[in-house]
Every structure is written in structure tokens, then in C-alpha cells.
Structure 1
Amino acid sequence: MPEIVELLASPVHRFLGRPAAGPAPAPPGELVDVVQIRSGLGIVGDRYFAQPAHRDASVTVIAQESLPAGVGLTEVRRNILTSGIAVDELIGRVLVLDCGDGPVSLRVNRAARPCAWMDVTVGPGTWKALRTTGGIRCTPLNDGTLRVGPVDITVERVPT
């Protein structure tokens, strides 16, 4: 059964400067059990919320199946970690997630390409390994709530 494994809403950018210097410390509480999504704006409390430059990429999703065992959102800096959903195949579609609080529709705009930081935070070779499975960048199409746990999914065509 598909599920949301982790949720990250971080108010800070941790990957600043050169990867060799290492990431900035994680703020307390960036991994959460529930997030509030706002249409066209992103995740309330996240560093990309309502940022004009990130409106078409304000929510990022990655599949747990793409990551080495034990690696989660604090290392890869995506917002939603799923299991049982082939997210990298959804570019150009709408991913609808419903955790029981109503559907949240995410327009999948493009791949979330990894960067050299992955070799530092996950391990050598990760940057190259995640080039085709680094997740997706999405725009939320409606307001809603997502929670860690089982999730119903629907994939739809992008509205025209």
C-alpha cells in the first residue's frame, strides 16, 4: 500500500556554499508528521513557501525506493518521502494524494535533479546514481493537509 514515510518543512537552506564544507546544521523540528499545503504557494513553514522563483517547484517528492536504506529527507532535502509510488514517472501529470483529510493535487512539472551535495550527505556516487530517480518538483493546485502514513493516490492528466 502506498504511504507517506516522512515529511520535511524546513525554514532554512542547509546546502549553502561548497559541498566540501558540509551542510549547515538542521533546525529542530524540520521533520514533521503533518504539513499544510497552500495552492500555488507550497508547504507552510518551508523555505520555498511563496517564493516567486520556486512557484513551479515549491513541493518536492522522492520515492523511498530510490534511496539507500536508512536515508531520508534530512539528507536529500525533498519535502515528501513516499513508498509504493513511482514518482519519477509522473512528469507532466497531476499526482493526487489523500491521507484522509481530502485530496491534495500536485502538478508534476519536472524532475528534481540531484546535486553534488548528495555525495556529501548520502555517500560517494549518490549524485550520479540519483540522476534519473532524484524525485519530482511540483506545484500544489489546491489547499490541503498531508500526513505521514497510508495514502490513497490518483494520477490525472494536467488540466488545460
Structure 2
Amino acid sequence: MPIVVALHVAPAHRSPMVPVDEVEAVAGRGLVGDRFFGARHRHVTVQTADDLASAARRLGRDVPAPRTRRNVTLDHGPLPTAPGSRLRLAGLDLEVVRVAAPCRIMDDELGPGGKIALIRRGGVVCRLLDSGVVRLGDPCDLEPPNEDRLF
């Protein structure tokens, strides 16, 4: 079962990601202290160290977790990407909203080619269905994709 190896929040748009050991998650709102707290659907972003390693190979240099601007990094995956898929992170239910497509900021964060290196490796955007605390080392149960949810 994957575990949380990094947690980050950013207090404002384009501000540096701040590493935290734990973060309060509020159902329907997001992560307390993060720039997207209160957003309609973008409550938490999740990525895997496997995908970061793959992006680093493509890019030819390291891809540090905070530079991708995702909140949660798991040690391995793969992540479910179909909208409606579920993750159970630290006992909290999360629903996948969409793939977290990399934006042009990734070229600023990682250098030329950063955005392209993260295509299909950028993680997922999730909606929080439960409230609680997420901590480093917490487990994450990845629900297999449900093909019925694709249609």
C-alpha cells in the first residue's frame, strides 16, 4: 500500500510550497493553509514518487516534489485517473476530479521541458469527501478504476 512521503501547501498563488508534517483536511473545502482552500473542486492534488522519477528521466534532471506544486506525494502508484475514482488517504475518502495537467509554470519551476516531462505524470486533482488530518507516513488505498464511471 502506498504511503505519504511528502506533504506541501502554498499559502498563496505562485508562493513557494511549504513542507509540512501534517495538514488538516476539511471536507468540501480542501487543505487548511493551502491557496486552494475553499475552491469548489480542487481540494487536494496527489502525485507519486514513481511519476516524479519518470519525469526526471525524461527531463534529464531531478524533479523535486515541491516544485510540481502538488500537495501530497505517495511513494508509489499508479494513481487512479478516471473521474469518480476513489482514494482512501489516511482514512479520508477522496474522489478524483481530473488528471492534474501540468501548466506553463512547470517550465519556470523545473526549467525548459518541465511541463512536457510531467504530461501523464502530474498526478490527480481530488475532492475531499471527509475531514481529518493527513500525516507523513499515512497509508493510501488506491481504488482500482471503475470502468462504469467512465460513461
Give the deviation of 1:66 after TM superposition: 1.4
Structure 2 residue aligned with 1:116: 104
Aligned-residue offset at 1:88: 5.0
How far apart, in 2, do the equivalents of 1:58 and 1:39 lie? 8
Could you list the runs of 5+ residues in structure 2 that have no partner in the other structure? none
Of all paired residues, the percent bearing the same amino acid is: 35
Deviation at 1:48, TM superposition (A): 0.8
Is 1:106 matched with 2:94? yes
Question: Aligned pair in 2 of structure 1 residues 88, 114: CA closer, same or farther (>3 Å)?
Answer: farther
For this pair of structures, how many residues does the alignment match? 139
| Amino acid in the other structure paired with 2:22 | V
CA-to-aligned-CA distance 1:77-117 (integer Å, 9 cap, x gap): 1110111221254542111012xxxx111110101110112
- Cα contact 1:91–1:136 (8 A) shared by 2: no
TM-score (norm 1): 0.77
Deviant stretches of 4+, over 3 Å: 88-91
What does residue 5 of structure 2 align with? Answer: 5
Q: Name the counterpart of 1:65.
A: 50
Q: Measured at CA, do residues 92 and 150 of structure 1 come closer, stay the same or move farther in structure 2, by a change above 3 Å?
A: same
Q: TM-score, normalised by structure 2?
A: 0.81
**CA RMSD, 1 decimal:** 2.1
Alignment of 1:7-156 (within 5 A): 7-14=7-14, 26=16, 30-50=18-38, 54-67=39-52, 68=56, 70-87=62-79, 89-98=81-90, 103-155=91-143
Deviations 1:112-140 (CA, angstroms, capped at 9, x unpaired): 11011212211322211212121111110
Q: CA deviation at 1:154?
A: 4.3
Gaps of 5+ in 1: 15-23
For residues 120 and 3 of structure 2, the distance between their equivalents in structure 1, rounded to whole angstroms, comes to: 22
Measured in 1, the distance between the counterparts of 2:135 and 2:118 equals: 25
